[in-house]
Amino acid sequence: MINRLIVALLPYLPKGLVWVFGKRYIAGKELKDAVEVTAKLNGQKIKATMDLLGEFQTRAEKIGYYKNEYLKLIDESVSKNLDNSFSVKPTMFGLLLDEDMCYKNLREIVAKAASLGRFVRIDMEDTQCTDRELNLYKQLLNEFPGHVGIVLQAYLKRTLDDLKELVEFDQGRGLVNVRLCKGIYNEPAELAYKSKNEINQNYLVDLDFMFRNNIYPAIATHDKKLITGAYELINKYKIKPDRFEFQMLYGVTPGLRRSVVEKGYNMRVYVPYGNDWYNYSTRRLKENPHMAWHITKALIYAG
Ligand SMILES: Cc1cc2nc3c(=O)[nH]c(=O)nc-3n(C[C@H](O)[C@H](O)[C@H](O)COP(=O)(O)OP(=O)(O)OC[C@H]3O[C@@H](n4cnc5c(N)ncnc54)[C@H](O)[C@@H]3O)c2cc1C
């Protein structure tokens, strides 16, 4: 109840207060902050996927700026010898405005990353983007095999069909690389499972399908039950450790993250940075089960 109230109040809270709670999920506002966090994670045997924050862009000059920032980021992480990939949100490059422009911008980023032996993952946004982002992925996968991946969301009823289509598209090459997450956007019940039980059940059905069909899964969750379910599937199908990885978000469940690393499995942490931190932070705050308590306490002390 209190959580729902705080979620409803979030848009009205001063940005400064949102930053106080949201900054734990962000490496910082500048590229050097993301580099620092990534180097630290690498020191703990953890890879990173670096993400420049910003989405749903409509202005061409801003889109050009973001593309150049990604190209800079790729140069910087290669020159610093960091162990990381990159995550991109296609709406940052005008996906909903002009698909061809978006493709050209993303292509430049993926081409540069691929030429330096690096990997780019296309994040999945809300359902107005699902088909468009899958199309982008297929196009780029043909051009840069082994250097590009996609995200699918277990809350969507269509995800198993999308996985089947990707297997057909792959034609046995074993190149399909999918980060499987629960999904963060508020989707209608016709399209998405709404209860935690159904989402979790679907997650494990999707993951089981991926293991049986030679799709490389990036198992992106902080849910202990799903991680245990993933361990069971890995043992059942005797999957080699280089055919999957776990992923978690920066600032979330570091203890659980350590326990996965200690088992000897590959772990990659999503490291977001940049000035456009607000939308990402509020999404994370809404997911934090203790958020209502932290914010209520802060408001009482501030008062
Ligand atoms: C690497 C990565 C990339 C992602 N990329 C995408 C994407 O492209 N598209 C998309 O729609 N979604 C993406 N997500 C978000 C995802 O869809 C979920 O919204 C998010 O991961 C929470 O789901 P969960 O599986 O951790 O389960 P939950 O049931 O939400 O969480 C399990 C437990 O983790 C802890 N926890 C979770 N979130 C928080 C938090 N913010 N603060 C503190 N504790 C927390 C709590 O203890 C909670 O009980 C990504 C997630 C990860 C890990």
Output the domain CATH number for residue 37.
3.20.20.220
**pLDDT at residue 99 in the model:** 95
Determine the atom of ligand 1 nearest the C-alpha atom of 203.
25
Q: Is residue 205 part of a domain?
A: yes
290: its two tokens: 């203790």
User: What is the identity of the amino acid at 118?
Assistant: R
| E strand segments, 164-290 | 177-181, 216-220, 245-249, 267-273
For residue 210, what are the contacts with CB-CB under 8 A and spacing of at least 6?
163, 178, 180, 216, 217
Distance in Å, CA 143 to ligand 1 centroid: 31
| 118 is known as an active-site residue | no
Cα distances (angstroms) measured from residue 83 to each of 64, 117, 119: 26, 11, 11
- Catalytically annotated residue among 51, 118, 121, 179: 179
CA of 204 to the centre of ligand 1 (A): 15
Nearest to 249 by CA among 217, 284, 216, 201: 284
Ligand 1 atom nearest the C-alpha of 286 is 41
Note whether residue 294 is domain-resident: no
Question: Do the Cβ atoms of 257 and 223 come closer than 8 Å?
Answer: no
Q: Is residue 40 part of a domain?
A: yes
Q: Which residues line ligand 1 (CB under 6 A)?
A: 123-124, 151, 153, 179, 181-185, 220-223, 247-249, 252-253, 270, 284, 287-289
Q: Is 100 exposed, middle or buried (0-12, 13-18, 19+ CB in 10 A)?
A: exposed
pLDDT at 134: 98
The whole-angstrom separation of Cα 37 and Cα 271 is: 8
Nearest residue (CA) to ligand 1, atom 30: 287
Which pLDDT belongs to residue 10? 82
* Pair 247, 227: CB distance under 8 Å: no
Give the domain extent around 217: 27-276
Overall domain count for the chain? 1
> Which residues in the chain come in under a pLDDT of 70?
1-2, 292, 294-303
How far lies 100's CA from each of 104, 136, 172, in Å? 6, 10, 28
* Whole-number pLDDT of residue 18: 87
pLDDT of residue 183: 98
94 is a domain residue: yes
User: Of these residues, 123, 162, 206, 276, which one is catalytic?
Assistant: 123
165 assigned to some structural domain: yes
DSSP label at 39? Answer: H
123 assigned to active site: yes
Atom of ligand 1 nearest to the CA of 249: 53
Angle 63-279-300 from CA coordinates, rounded to 5°: 150
Report the separation in Å between the CA atom of 222 and the middle of ligand 1, taken as the mean of its atom positions.
6
What pLDDT score was predicted for residue 286? 86
